[in-house]
Amino acid sequence: MKEQESLKVFILECVRNQSLSKESAFLILKSLSNAVSMDEVDSALDACIGQSKEVTDVQKYWMHLTQQRRKLSAKRSHRQLQGPTVEAIPHGPMGSNCYLVVSDGEGVIIDPGSSFDKIWPVVEKSGAKIKYIFITHGHFDHMGSMEELKAATGASIVLHSQDEPALSQSVLNGSFLFSQIRTFRPIDITVGGGETFKVGGYEYEIVHTPGHTIGSICIRLNAQLFSGDMLFSQNDEHVGPITGDAFELMRSYQKLCSRMKGDILVYPGHGTPFWVDDNLKAAYMETKLEVQREGPA
């Protein structure tokens, strides 16, 4: 019963964050209880939004910034960054992205949520020695094939220690939503934030950015940022179920914006890459601080 209630919370959160349609949510909830109606789904969603009004207000503001992001992306789409080659492998569960990053014959895999059959041919073609498999957070759509890739490459899997429980609990990793009940073996390296990993002559910095989950991380590579589910090209506020926290997420925005200077090319966990410049960073920080003042003391 407790797992079923957690499932309902997760489904409604997916709808609220536009990663699941209301109609799909209705069908899933209907399968759990024949008594559920579309009106009940609407009421539940209204309650979710009402309980986090301050977050919803911020989300509307960030949606307003989408056009600025598009202008930035269009303006700089021709710009080539020096550094490792980044190849996106999309179409994972719920549209998640996996990234293969390669330089000087060495590479890393970030968020292997896609099937092994989709990712492995790309890795094999690159010819790179994979050193690490970075997991930005403990949701199954970002780590689904990590064990197969570890077996194929000998790479070490890296995850934040606070998301470790998601390895053994399908409610925390979200797989039960798709009736998969996925669990995973213990990983090789747990991090807390601040660690660096040198691969192919470049340093990958781990930045702890809680909010989507308690153990979410971003991976910084010079002016590039692999953001997991913290930043998206269309909207930003995405508080995950169970261990997500809206104010922690906004503090994480501020941390990143204050630490990263100049333009940032963001590779998100879902959607297409986009640019964030100093003007947009200032808007993030101003909005966040305003919401903190209005929030609980």
Chunked in runs of 10, what are the mean pLDDT values of the chain (297 residues)? 58 60 60 58 53 46 50 53 88 86 97 93 97 96 95 98 92 75 92 97 96 93 92 64 73 82 88 79 58 43
Q: What is the end-to-end Cα distance of the chain in Å, rounded?
A: 35
Please check whether residues 272 and 262 belong to one and the same domain: yes
- Phi, psi angles (nearest 5°) of residue 135: -115, 115
Distance CA 230, CA 214 (A): 12
Q: Are residues 12 and 142 in the same domain?
A: no
Q: 139 and 258 share a domain?
A: yes
Tokens representing 268? 């998100």
User: Sign of the CA dihedral 18, 22, 25, 27?
Assistant: negative
Question: How high is the pLDDT of residue 248?
Answer: 81
Q: Quick one: 110 and 213 in the same domain?
A: yes
Q: Which residues pair with 198 in a beta bridge?
A: 203
The pLDDT score that the predictor gives to residue 39 is: 62
pTM score, two decimals? 0.75
Asked if 120 and 249 sit in the same domain, the reply is yes
Bridge partners (DSSP) listed for residue 191 = 160
Inter-residue contact 180 to 106 (CB < 8 Å):
no
State whether 150 and 266 are in the same domain.
yes
Give CA–CA dist 206/184, Å, rounded: 22
The domain total for the chain is 2
Q: How many Å separate Cα 92 from the centre of its chain?
A: 13
64: helix, strand or coil = helix
Residue 77: give its domain's CATH number: 3.60.15.10
Q: Which residues form the domain of 47?
A: 1-51
Q: Rounded to the nearest 5°, which phi and psi values hold at 125? A: -65, -35
173: tokens are 């990793």
Q: Where are the beta strands (DSSP E) in 41-155?
A: 85-89, 98-103, 106-110, 129-134
pLDDT at site 46: 55
**Whether residues 39 and 73 fall in one domain:** no
User: Are residues 26 and 154 both part of a single domain?
Assistant: no
Q: What is the pLDDT of residue 127?
A: 96
39/147 same-domain check: no
| Alpha carbon of residue 112 to chain centroid | 12
Q: What is the pLDDT of residue 296?
A: 43
For residue 84, what pLDDT is reported? 93
Q: Are residues 130 and 248 in the same domain?
A: yes
- Candidates 89, 102, 158, 92; CA nearest to 130 is 102
Greatest CA separation found in the chain?
A: 59
Closest by CA to 207, choosing from 190, 189, 223, 225, is 225
Q: Which of 33, 51, 69 is the last residue of a domain?
A: 51
Q: Of 151, 193, 188, which is closest to residue 167 (Cα–Cα)?
A: 188
- φ and ψ of 2, to 5 deg: -65, -40
Q: What pLDDT is stored for residue 167 in this prediction? A: 95
Pairing of strands 202-208, 196-199: antiparallel
Parallel, antiparallel, or unpaired: how do β-strands 224-228 and 217-221 relate? Answer: antiparallel
With beta carbons less than 8 A apart as the criterion, state whether 258 and 249 touch. Answer: no
- Burial (CB count <10 Å: 0-12, 13-18, 19+), residue 73: middle
Domain co-membership, 110 together with 39: no
- Which tokens is 132 given? 């690490």
Residues 35 and 174 in one domain: no
